[in-house]
Amino acid sequence: RRGPLDEDPFGPLGIRVGSFILKPSIEIVGGYDSNVTRTPERQGSWLTTVLPELQFKSDWTRHELSGTLRGAYTWYEQLPSFNKPLIDARVNGRVDITSQTRADLEGRYQLLADSPGDPNTPGDTARPPIYQIFGGTAGLTQRFNRLEVTGKGSVDRLQYFNATLDTGGTLDLSDRNYNQYGVAGRVGYELHPGVKPFVEGGFDRRLYDDAAYTIPNRNSDG
């Protein structure tokens, strides 16, 4: 009798810790960027990037908890003021309420830096501004034989840290902070195992914190 097919037969086996399987890794990249500042003056530099990562997944008979934690830091040898961090973390949970009903949850966090040369970045900043995005999604899925219906809602927050100026002072960038709220619905039909066409629609609203920043109005609906 054949066992179940392995979805990734050449992938890492991972490290078992209790009822979880962990897959850690680290990557180191080196190279040269001929225009770090992304400006017509073209300032180049050698760079080194270190990228650690941890994937984890539960091995439970019911429910599931999984996630990916990624980080990175880039060092520029000739232009250290452009060194930048990156964090990308996601945790997903599935709760099997019944054999036909499940709840899906996701929490996420990102730490990012503005791209050099971004026209939204003030020209007197000493280095690209740092910002973070965090939020979550909750959804409920119900199966009716081959028909599957899903509804979900999400909340996300974008928040800038103060920027460092060439003069050594700081610049408040809180006028760029906003919250985003969304809802979505999805209907799919399983024609064949592994083949499930679907239709999905959603609505979201982006609201900036600073009322003065909404003149002209930059709030939006999608």
Model pTM? Answer: 0.86
Name residues whose C-beta falls within 8 Å of residue 180's C-beta, 6 or more positions apart in sequence. 135, 154, 155, 156, 157, 158, 204, 205, 206, 207
In contact, 26 and 59? CB cutoff 8 Å = no
Separation of alpha carbons 165 and 171, rounded Å? 7
Q: What is the mean pLDDT of residues 206-217?
A: 75
Q: What is the mean pLDDT of residues 11-29?
A: 92
Q: What value does the CA radius of gyration of the chain take, rounded to a whole number of Å?
A: 22
Q: What is the pLDDT of residues 144-202, one digit of tens each?
A: 999 999 999 999 999 999 998 888 889 999 989 999 999 999 999 999 988 999 999 99
